[in-house]
Amino acid sequence: MPDLTPPSDPAARPMEGQRPPLITALAAQVISAAVVFGVTAGTGMHVGLVVLLVLQGTGAAALGLWLGLARWWLPLQLLAPPAVWGALQLPIPPWIYLAVFAGLVLVYWNSAGERVPLYLTNRKTWAALEKLLPDKPDLTFADLGSGLGGVLLFLATQRSEGTFIGLESAPIPYLLSRVRLSLARRTNLRIFMRSLWMVDLARFDVVYCFLSPAPMPPLFDKAKAEMRPGALFISNSFEVPGHPADRVIELDDGRRTRLHVWQM
Ligand SMILES: C[S@@+](CC[C@H](N)C(=O)[O-])C[C@H]1O[C@@H](n2cnc3c(N)ncnc32)[C@H](O)[C@@H]1O
């Protein structure tokens, strides 16, 4: 198994220190609620609760845009206050909300900080990835953000002589993938609960990722700095602005997956 020593350069952890959009959205809601409810209480105005909630949502949406949130946050910000109030009226014990919230956090751990949610590479893409693997007996492959481990399990089964490594930092996907891999009993496959920024990519012949637009520019810089000449860096769907891929493979699956392939 490859040694997974972290890169010593702190610049290799570029997503640290950026404000996650979820925090901006929550801050916009809190500020808007304070203004709307504060002004009505302070002036003694009699305004219906629904109107106040709509005003809070509108204020939060406008403030969020001003603070740099993407436009798709707008409807979420508008609807959040009435939706939360409506949910609180349902006869559901409060611990259920807490349990659902905790479960979502443990699955979508990287949505807020890294801006990468969980969605999975499909089977047609697994097969396309297999065709891209170099014909090398001691092949080493990494899936950065390995989710439920589907890509790794498929490739490790097809290429039993290679070594396949997954890095996953979301607790529930990590645990589920570990259980899945233990049941599959493959010895050429390991998944680590570790941030992809903390691993030196020099050990791998092929590095695959299916993340989001946000981490691609710094991740490409990291790949360029660490990967060996000739190694492959493959991004499912997400391009790197200013660095066109050497090859783009378009698949005929439902979502017209595009694999962007760079040879280092
Ligand atoms: C879109 S999913 C892809 C899952 C898997 N690679 C696949 O293609 O089926 C992205 C995964 O990356 C994980 N992730 C995001 N940022 C990460 C980080 N810094 N370190 C490790 N995993 C990360 C997420 O938790 C999520 O499971």
Q: From atom 19 of ligand 1, which residue's Cα is the shortest distance away?
A: 195
Q: How far apart are CA 162 and CA 41, in angstroms?
A: 67
Question: Taking 90 as the threshold, does the pLDDT of residue 31 lie above it?
Answer: yes
Per-residue pLDDT tens over the stretch 2-22:
556 555 554 455 554 456 677
Question: Taking 60 as the threshold, does the pLDDT of residue 1 lie above it?
Answer: no
Give 224 Cα–ligand 1 centroid separation in angstroms.
Answer: 20
Q: Quick one: which H or E segment has residue 109?
A: helix 109-113
Question: Taking 50 as the threshold, does the pLDDT of residue 254 lie above it?
Answer: yes
For ligand 1, residues with CB inside 6 Å are 109-110, 114, 116, 118-121, 143, 145-147, 150-151, 167-170, 173, 195-197, 210-211
- Span 157-174, mean pLDDT? 93
The mean pLDDT value of the chain amounts to 88
Q: How far apart are CA 264 and CA 226, in angstroms?
A: 10
- Span 73-93, mean pLDDT? 88
DSSP state of 9: -
Q: Which residue has the higher pLDDT, 23 or 241?
A: 241
Per-residue pLDDT tens over the stretch 48-73:
898 999 999 999 999 999 988 878 88
pLDDT of residue 42: 87
pLDDT of residue 2: 53
Q: Which domains does the chain have, with CATH numbers?
A: 21-113 (no CATH), 117-263 (3.40.50.150)
Residue 205 amino acid letter = D
Residue 10 amino acid letter = P
Kindly report the pTM of this predicted structure.
Answer: 0.76
- Span 223-252, mean pLDDT? 95
Partners of 163 in the beta sheet? Answer: 140
Give 146 Cα–ligand 1 centroid separation in angstroms.
Answer: 5
Q: Quick one: which H or E segment has residue 64?
A: helix 49-66
Per-residue pLDDT tens over the stretch 115-154:
777 888 999 999 999 999 999 889 999 999 999 999 999 9
Lowest average pLDDT, out of 26-40, 84-98, 234-248, goes to 84-98
Give 168 Cα–ligand 1 centroid separation in angstroms.
Answer: 6
Beta strands 140-144 and 206-209: pairing type?
parallel
Q: From atom 27 of ligand 1, which residue's Cα is the shortest distance away?
A: 147
Question: Taking 90 as the threshold, does the pLDDT of residue 258 lie above it?
Answer: yes
- Span 245-256, mean pLDDT? 92
Question: Taking 90 as the threshold, does the pLDDT of residue 222 lie above it?
Answer: yes
Per-residue pLDDT tens over the stretch 178-200:
999 889 888 999 999 999 999 99
Q: How far apart are CA 233 and CA 249, in angstroms?
A: 13
Lowest average pLDDT, out of 107-111, 211-215, 237-241, goes to 107-111
- Span 70-87, mean pLDDT? 89
Lowest average pLDDT, out of 11-15, 85-89, 217-221, goes to 11-15
pLDDT of residue 149: 94
